[in-house]
Every structure is written in structure tokens, then in C-alpha cells.
Amino acid sequence: MSGTSDADTPDTTAPTPAVPPMIAVDAMGGDHAPEEIVRGAVLAVRELGLRVVLVGRRSQIAELLAREDALKEVPVVHSEDSLAMHEGALASWRRPRSSAAVACRLIRRGDADALVSAGSTGGIVATSTVRLRTQPGVLRPALAVPLPTGETPTILVDAGANADAKPEMLVQFAHLGCAYAQTAFGVEQPRVGLLTIGSEPGKGNKLTRRAAELLTAASDDDSRSLDFLGNVEGHDLMSRVVDVVVADGHTGNVALKTVEGTAAFTMAALREAFTSSWSAKAGALLQRRALGELRARLDSETYGGAALLGLNGTVVIAHGASRARGVARACQLAHDLATGRVGERIRRRVQHRPPSWLHRLAQTEER
């Protein structure tokens, strides 16, 4: 846990948790909520030894906990409302009593340190951004998703929180991604690449060309802890040339879903190929174990989910289709991020940066 090279000032404002962080789990969000979510929370407590509080409709949760004989192990905080899976950003504003909103309130009050939800990404991003607010100096929160490229994953950030980004936001996303790679995966000096079209400097669209300039400047300044390697292309997402891939939320989200879709397509094509002949079928039987391991490795639940970084509180958004094990993994990720104080790292990385309006002014004058 060495990490940030720019941060040796003692920190008096941040809390020093003597006890492990408390994870507030949104019991009502997800395709298999609340059953699988409650089971996941119980797993997180029993198998992973985490501290968890479930937020949602009390009677329903209590019944499910009783089934697992875990009524005394997992506390419950009641919320009468919940966000539906199809509800986006707007609806979440109108639902101050949703389980996600109540979980955010627990964090603001200091009763919890992190939120885990398998609810709709749009809804959770909006709810937590409104209710937890961005950390000082952070322009926008960003979604960080680990891609299973090797022993340590490649972090893609922003994977979809901001459809329209400004160049200076992309520089902050790089800092958020680095803080995440350091905290969750122990990468000491993460290498950063900018996702665009064409790997040579000067390639890309307007947004990424300007962002590349800013990232280069941030990288050259040695008070800063950014190791910017330059542009990367779509095929580099899975090639492990960098630890953190920075993108605007539109490009990042399309890229993420393309990775998921193509991996699924290739595996399906494979399955088809393996039933195409007698010998291929026989071969598949011999490989059952190897294939199972590969599938697990490519599984989007492997790392527990996407982290929404840059807010006053840790937020992990698990895959909507998460089962109990996926939810438990998301709790583990939230625990690791809160324990490693990812927020503190982000604050230190971002506070040295010039205020955003200065950036924006410079930007405007150029045009």
C-alpha cells in the first residue's frame, strides 16, 4: 500500500477507521433482488468477514434472512421505496426514500462507509451523485471497471457515467483510475493510456487530442503522479499495455459493452463449433474443466462490479444480473476501496490541480 508519490502530508480531516468499514447493501436493486442480494450479504458476512447492513423493505428482508438463519448477523435499515431496474437518472431524483437514497443517507451520517447496489447504473449514478456529492475539486464522478486482461486487470474509466466529457475531466478520470488501481490492486505506479483512434500523438477527435495534451503536461510535471504513455486503441483494452485506460463515458461504455458482447459471441461460436462433429464433441468433454475456468475468468462478475469514483463515499455498482456470489464480491471490492482509502488518494491527487474554471477558461480562449 505505498502508492501515491505526491502524498506525504499527514491528513487530519479524514477519519481513521479503527473498525472495518460498514457496507450498506441496497437489497432492492438488481434483476434477482431481493433474494440473491440478501444471500450475497450473508455470504459477505459469513465467508468474507465483512461488516454489512442491508437497506430495503424490512419485512421482506427479514423473511429472507430468517431463511438463511442470519437474522442476528446482518442488520437491516428500512426503506419503503426502491428504484426500478429500468428507471434512469430522473426518476431517482423523485425518490428520496428509495433504498439507494437511504443507503446514501447512512453514508452521509457516518453510519456506513460504502454503498453496494446491483440496481440500474443510471439510477445509482444519479442518486449517489446527488446525495453524496463529488469530492472537493472533482468535476464529475466516473465509473471504473476492471477488465480481466491478466493477473491484475486493466481499469477502464469512465465506463459510462458521463456521456459528454470535457478534456480536463479526462485528466481527472486518469487520476481516479490510478487511485483505484493503487488501492484495489496494489499497482504502485499505474501506466495510463488514452482510448482513441490512432496510436500516434496528434491522432483522435477534438476531445481526445486536447486531453492528450493536458495528460502529457500533467505527466511531465514531476510533482504529479501520472505516468501517461499516450494514445491506445480499441485492441489495447485487452492487450495489457497499460494499467488504466481513460475514455469519455460514451466511448468507454461502448467499448466495455463491445468487450462483453464479443467475448460472449466468441464463446457461443465456440460452443457451436464444438457440437459440429463427433470428434469435436468428444474433445469438448475432455476440456470441460479448462473451458469452465476460462468462462469464469471472462465472467463480468469476477471483480465484483464497477466503482463510481470521486464521490464522498465509496460506491460499487454490481452487474444487474448479479447472483449472491457476485454481490459478495462487490462487497469485498467496496471493503477494499474503503479500507485503502481510495477517496483520500483521490483528494490528494486532485487538490494540487488548478481549479477547473481556469482550465475551462484556457479552453474557451483557444477556440
According to the binding rule CB under 8 A, does residue 91 interact with a second copy? no
According to the binding rule CB under 8 A, does residue 256 interact with a second copy? yes
Distance CA 96, CA 100 (A): 9
Within positions 106 to 125, which residues make up the interface with a second copy, using CB under 8 A?
A: 122
What Rg do the C-alpha atoms of the chain give, in angstroms? 21
Within positions 281 to 310, which residues make up the interface with a second copy, using CB under 8 A?
A: 282-287, 289-291, 293-294, 297-298
Angle, alpha carbons 347-149-50 (nearest 5°):
55
CB of 92 to a second copy, least distance (A): 15
According to the binding rule CB under 8 A, does residue 263 interact with a second copy? yes
Interaction pattern, residues 305-344, with a second copy; x per rule: CB under 8 A: ----------------------------------------
What's the grid cell of residue 73? 448477523
According to the binding rule CB under 8 A, does residue 3 interact with a second copy? no
Distance CA 302, CA 110 (A): 29
What's the grid cell of residue 220? 511531465
Q: Is 283 exposed, middle or buried (0-12, 13-18, 19+ CB in 10 A)?
A: exposed
Binding region for a second copy (CB under 8 A) out of 10-18, 43-51, 92-100, 232-240? 232-240
According to the binding rule CB under 8 A, does residue 195 interact with a second copy? yes
Distance CA 32, CA 30 (A): 5
According to the binding rule CB under 8 A, does residue 362 interact with a second copy? no
Within positions 129 to 188, which residues make up the interface with a second copy, using CB under 8 A?
A: 149, 160, 163-164
What's the grid cell of residue 92? 431517482
- Residue (96 or 234) nearer to a second copy, CB: 234
CB of 3 to a second copy, least distance (A): 29
According to the binding rule CB under 8 A, does residue 94 interact with a second copy? no
Residues with Cβ within 8 Å of residue 146, at least 6 apart in sequence = 153, 154, 155, 156, 184, 185, 302, 303
- Residue (182 or 231) nearer to a second copy, CB: 231
Closest by CA to 243, choosing from 341, 152, 306, 325, is 152
According to the binding rule CB under 8 A, does residue 85 interact with a second copy? no
According to the binding rule CB under 8 A, does residue 237 interact with a second copy? yes
- Residue (67 or 295) nearer to a second copy, CB: 295
According to the binding rule CB under 8 A, does residue 196 interact with a second copy? yes
Distance CA 255, CA 287 (A): 30
CB of 127 to a second copy, least distance (A): 17
Distance CA 76, CA 66 (A): 12
Distance CA 83, CA 304 (A): 21
Query: Phi, psi (5° rounding) for residue 159?
Result: -95, 15
DSSP 81: B
- Residue (107 or 161) nearer to a second copy, CB: 161
Binding region for a second copy (CB under 8 A): 86, 88, 122, 149, 160, 163-164, 195-198, 200, 203-206, 208, 233-239, 247-251, 253-267, 269-270, 273-274, 276-277, 279-280, 282-287, 289-291, 293-294, 297-298
